Structure 1
Amino acid sequence: MGDSFETGLIGALPALRRYALSLCRKADVADDLVQTTVERAIAARDRLDPAMRLEPWLFRILRNGWIDRLRRQGSRGTEIDIADMPEAAVHDGVRASEAALMLRQTTDALATLPAEQREVILLVCFEEFTYGEAAEVLGIPKGTVMSRLARGRIALAAKLGIE
């Protein structure tokens, strides 16, 4: 398996983990999602269209895995991990403190957006997917991606007090 598929899969792991973390907000669950994605991708490798980029295909697999997990949780109820603890942030000077505060405010504001807007912002702005690739991952038209992105950016700026 020493080909471009393997290289691309390994190269996509950090971005997959970031996306998984943005969906579930728990490191252990994100790791499980990424592992499931890799397993499913390897098993379905022959179904990948050679004309399509690997990353959007992998993100679609991850998102579908997340949806599957949510459906399973719906029948089990809420799970609480008692080991979860907020990590201590180390601040080095005023600049680092301001950057950490802005990042926290942005993360909190992003979390309050509707899931549809949040997903589009993460895919297009953070993962740098094209509108078409984001549309493929989410299974929606490209125009819907563009309108959700516009509404999400406006809402995020308003929540952060940016004009």
Structure 2
Amino acid sequence: MSLRDDLAACLPQLHRYARALTGDAAWAEDLVQDTVERALGRTSLLRAHSNTRAWLMTILRHLYIDQLRKRHELALDADDPLWQQLEAPAGEIDGLLLLDVQRALYRLPLEQREVLLLVALEQLSYQEAAAILQVPVGTVMSRLSRAREHLRELLGGDAGSRRNVFKVVRKRP
């Protein structure tokens, strides 16, 4: 499989990760485009038999952080972020639950949110997430544990009504 084929195969995951990081479709699309452009310009850095998806997600994450710095928004923990203003689909309890989870997700510190997205949403191993974040595996595990606990606290309320949410963020085997 060629690098271009690998890139094409990773596009849905890159889009999902970018959208989860940014919360904005246009910004996510630009971020993915910048990631692919940078990857194509630096193919010599990709070693044979390496994990293309992890390499691309690392590039995407670095671009995202650079863009946050340029926007002076490194901490996305504002009191009134965009995610607070989104509306759930009318009449859908699942939509309301999803909105609650989304709001809570964007209240997590960036370090916790990143690891939660990589492990729970993208289903990367701890080792792959550690490589992308450039931290030890133990740090990934610690951040994930804190993210899960923080998310539980933010969602609060009736544990029974929130039970299904935590299927997504449970420890990986």
- With the shorter chain as reference, the TM-score category is 0.7 to 0.9
Query: TM-score, normalized by length of structure 1?
Result: 0.82
Distance 1:44 1:111, change over 3 A: same
Equivalent residue in structure 1 for 2:18, among 17, 20, 31: 20
Distance 1:90 1:98, change over 3 A: closer
Question: Cα deviation per residue 1:110-148 (whole Å; 9 max; x = unaligned)?
Answer: 111111111100000000111111111111111000000
Q: Structure 2: which amino acid aligns with 1:157?
A: R
Question: Cα deviation per residue 1:49-96 (whole Å; 9 max; x = unaligned)?
Answer: 223211110000001111221222239xxxxxxxxx9577255xxxxx
Distance 2:106 2:88 in 1: 20
Is 1:138 aligned to 2:136, yes or no?
Answer: no
Distance 1:89 1:9 in 2: 33
Structure 1 runs (4+) deviating above 4 angstroms are 85-88
| Fraction of identical pairs, as percent | 44
Distance 1:133 1:4 in 2: 21
Structure showing greater Rg = 1
Query: TM-score, normalized by length of structure 2?
Result: 0.77
Runs of 5+ in structure 1 lacking a partner?
Answer: 76-84, 92-96
Distance 1:48 1:155 in 2: 36
Residue aligning to 1:35 = 33
Residue aligning to 1:45 = 43
Distance 1:87 1:100 in 2: 9
Distance 2:141 2:41 in 1: 32
Q: Structure 1: which amino acid aligns with 2:121?
A: F
Q: Structure 1: which amino acid aligns with 2:41?
A: A
Question: Is 2:89–2:96's contact at 8 Å kept on the other side of the alignment?
Answer: no
Residue aligning to 2:120 = 125
After TM superposition, give the deviation of residue 10 of structure 1 in Å.
0.8
Greater mean deviation of Cα atoms: 44-53 or 54-63: 44-53
Number of aligned residues: 147
Residue aligning to 1:89 = 89
After TM superposition, give the deviation of residue 29 of structure 1 in Å.
1.1
SS at match of 2:95: helix
Q: Aligned-residue CA RMSD in angstroms?
A: 2.1
